[in-house]
Chains A and B, each alone.
Chain A
Amino acid sequence: MEEVTLKIFRYNPEKDQKWHYETYTLEAEPTDRVLDLLEKVKAYNDGTLSFRRSCAHGVCGSDAMRINGRNYLACKVLVKDVGNNITVEPLLGLRVIKDLIVDMEPFFDNYKKILPYFINESPIPEDGRERIQSQEDRARFDDTTKCILCAACTTSCPTFWASDDYLGPAALVNAHRFIFDSRDAQAADRLEIVAETSGLARCHTVFNCTMACPREIEVTVAIGELKMATITGKLD
């Protein structure tokens, strides 16, 4: 066990005029998740500390937050990864509701704009079985199927900080997932959506999104492929 100092952004809309930081000192193992520390503070220091979490192993996307200035899932970063002086703050670019909880609605609204669902109205194969897809075609969009909609990428993007009508990396990643799926029939419409002024053109290849992704999706590559597709009109 080691002593860890945890500085947490606090804001209670029912009590506080303004946000502030609280500092807690606690004992932790180097292999503890930052989420474990937040749970400990909530259990024994201040029950009012509020944050979202569910799966606690990096697949549900609930607990994206800023830890020592960088976006992580709190359940997927360990004390030994960030050191013994840890600052935890809510995601940037979204309204803080309470402590580490932000308003996710603008994020999901952007996601919904890119038609985030499989569309193919042509008849299914006559035998009722699966549509055939080669292993190569399946691999083409594998990376972008990993997205868990945690918002770590989008809220690390300076363009999104400037205005939340920018679709943002997460929505673009999900557009990529369908546009490059050989079975989907609506690529043209989606390309038109991402090519609008609030889309691809506002990605300035800062790479923050790629660094932030807890699923290690190559976000900037996916956005690059979308840009190329809008220029060439081709998907290969």
Chain B
Amino acid sequence: MNTHQFEVLVVGAGGAGLMAGLYASKTAKTAVISKLYPTRSHTGAAQGGIGAALGNYEEDHVEWHTYDSVKGSDYLGDQDAIEFMCEEAIPAIYELEHMGLPFDRTPEGRISQRPFGGHTNNETGKPVRRACHAADRTGHMIVQTLYQQCLKNEVKFYDEFQVLDLLTVDGKTAGVVAVELATGELHTFHAKAVIIATGGHGRVWEVTSNAYAYTGDGTAIVYRRGIPLEDMEFFQFHPTGIYKMGILITEGVRGEGGVLLNNEGVRFMDTYAPTVKDLASRDVVSRAMYLEMRDGKGINGKRFLYLDATPATINKYAEIDGRTNPDGSPYKITGEQLLAKLPDIVDFCRTYLGVDPITQPMPVQPTAHYTMGGIPTNKFGEVVVDDKNKVFPGLYAAGEVACVSVHGANRLGTNSLLDLVVFGKYAGLRAAEFAQGADYVPLPADPTDFAREQFDSLKNGSGKENVFDIGNEMKAVMFDDVGVFRTENGMKAALKKVNELQERFKEIKVQDTGKIFNTELLNAWEMWNLLDMAEVITASAVNRKESRGGHAREDYPERDDKKWLKHTLAWNKNGKLKIGYKPVVQTKYKPKKRVY
């Protein structure tokens, strides 16, 4: 039997997992397991920036960042956690810089910052430069830098190990089971503390910016073990994905002055968000785009609009908006400067669309992007499992898989990278501290039982059904009926469909009988996770009879703070889905109407 023992075991090696591994390993015997080589993690696809009120170009305050994030969350975020994140943002950015992260620089040699959606000067309401960036590959630089620091500090990695199960005994954490992809062998990792940092589940939807790897593995394994998932109805659709493909075009494009245009060449965002216009928060912009397209204003009658970042257009609207440089001079940009600031965006458009964004507009549509919900935690990354926030001993979660909740009903751009770094660090510190004062919980008699059972069921079906067909049907119904706009009937039909697909999934049969890199078996297991997440998302969404942030209902178009200012919790009770709620933490920000 392959059994390993570590005080702290981190699952996932993106920004949160690497940060957790780096911090936990300072004082505890730690290992990081990951289904991908760490640098392949989806953090690397983040583009535009990481938020912190450094004020390197203009006045900014932690307090403003906090308020913007609370407002962005449509008041569903827990305000104590948001305050904590925005305060920690500043030391976190400096720490990354001290680790060598190559941020772009201001003329004075400080970290450069750009405007981003929903980040404002709280006095004028105008966009503020808060997103610290390294061209349009900020996430890439974060995952590289953190991996490099882990190598420097000799953190132990198990690369290409896929987690399959969380081991718990009497309500305590005992470790995880994983499969080694290269051999197909099951491994038991006996641990005092486990940190889940596996990312989101954006592959539930048809048009998505998310990696193939984003299959909700972390949420699925804890859900199967009876731990609730929080606010799963809240999922972010990013306004600007490449038409049909979903590949992300950073909000930084609009930060640099790009605007959205409809088929009449009209910049429509100023009617939906008169103050910040194209830099309203993502839920607002995605809805505006849907409404325009529904109004017949999609380009050529199709379901896309133009994102125009040609210098002529940028300069025209900068003049109309009265946008200025930090020194007060009028804002103007050249094609060359744009290429330097957004090289990857230019490359993506040229490669996938044959479009040159320096001279042509980009065809874009909203794309599934970010999981606001997830495993409930407090601000130290400790997993909390009921409406009283009872801590589950030894279990931690951080990053996109977790729901602290700092993003509430809608995340602001740049706050995801911030979330990874801040809560990855604290989860690592807390887990190591816990491990020092705890003993190993004895492993169950056959720890790999449940994992093996799951694999067997994927291999032994009738073979009547095809995994990919089931997946495509799920993605289509989720995109149509549990997407940017939702209705009772649509969601109920979607839930019924997902339940049918779960039944049909029992009839699949993996053809590959081998052990070495059996990617077919793993992909099938991942699809199972996605189906379970689709069920939890849809059930949580049907239940919430209001519109808030990313959850926009046509039949309940208003936010209803009296009834719904609360977090959803969804449990798996012996195979049956049960919904409950818990209160939102409010400090000093009272809910008010959200206008941009």
Measuring CB to CB, which residues of chain A are less than 8 angstroms from any residue of chain B?
Answer: 12-15, 31, 42-44, 46-48, 50-51, 53-62, 76, 78, 97-98, 101, 104, 108, 112, 116-120, 124, 128-135, 138, 141-142, 145-146, 148-149, 178, 181, 183-184, 216
Across-interface contacts of B523 in A (CB, < 8 A): 42
Cα separation A118 to B151 with both chains bound (whole Å): 11
- Least CB distance from B197 to A in Å reads 16
Whether A48 pairs with B514 at a CB distance below 8 angstroms is: yes
Across-interface contacts of A58 in B (CB, < 8 A): 347-348, 351
* Option from B182, B212, B511 in Cβ contact (under 8 Å) with A47: B511
List 20 contacting pairs A-B, 8 Å CB cutoff, sorted by A: A12-B516, A15-B514, A46-B511, A47-B520, A48-B520, A50-B519, A55-B45, A57-B247, A59-B137, A62-B36, A97-B182, A117-B100, A128-B94, A130-B110, A131-B98, A133-B105, A138-B102, A146-B140, A148-B140, A181-B102
Cα separation A42 to B467 with both chains bound (whole Å): 11
Q: Which of B151-180 contact A (CB under 8 A)?
A: 151-152
A-B pairs with the 8 shortest C-beta distances? A118-B100, A43-B468, A117-B148, A132-B109, A117-B152, A47-B511, A47-B520, A48-B512
- Least CB distance from A61 to B in Å reads 6
- Least CB distance from B219 to A in Å reads 18
Whether B97 pairs with A130 at a CB distance below 8 angstroms is: yes
Whether A116 pairs with B151 at a CB distance below 8 angstroms is: yes
Across-interface contacts of A55 in B (CB, < 8 A): 40, 42, 44-45, 211-212
Q: Which of B101-144 contact A (CB under 8 A)?
A: 102-111, 134-135, 137, 140-141, 144
Q: Given known contacts A47-B511, A118-B145, is B516 in contact with A97 (CB within 8 Å)? A: yes
Cα separation A146 to B514 with both chains bound (whole Å): 37
Whether A132 pairs with B108 at a CB distance below 8 angstroms is: yes
What number of B residues sit within 8 Å (CB to CB) of A?
61
Measuring CB to CB, which residues of chain B are less than 8 angstroms from any residue of chain A?
Answer: 36-37, 39-42, 44-45, 91, 93-94, 97-100, 102-111, 134-135, 137, 140-141, 144-145, 148-149, 151-152, 182, 211-213, 245, 247, 344, 347-348, 351-352, 466-468, 510-512, 514-520, 523
- Least CB distance from B253 to A in Å reads 16
* Option from A44, A61, A120, A216 in Cβ contact (under 8 Å) with B40: A61
Chain B, Cβ-Cβ closest to A12: B514
Whether B213 pairs with A118 at a CB distance below 8 angstroms is: no
Chain A, Cβ-Cβ closest to B141: A145
Chain B, Cβ-Cβ closest to A132: B109
Cα separation A72 to B351 with both chains bound (whole Å): 13
Cα separation A36 to B39 with both chains bound (whole Å): 22
Q: Given known contacts A54-B213, A57-B348, A132-B108, is B102 in contact with A48 (CB within 8 Å)? A: no
Across-interface contacts of B106 in A (CB, < 8 A): 135
Across-interface contacts of A98 in B (CB, < 8 A): 514, 516-517
- Least CB distance from B178 to A in Å reads 17
Q: Given known contacts A56-B211, A132-B109, is B137 in contact with A146 (CB within 8 Å)? A: yes
Q: Given known contacts A117-B151, A129-B94, is B102 in contact with A134 (CB within 8 Å)? A: no
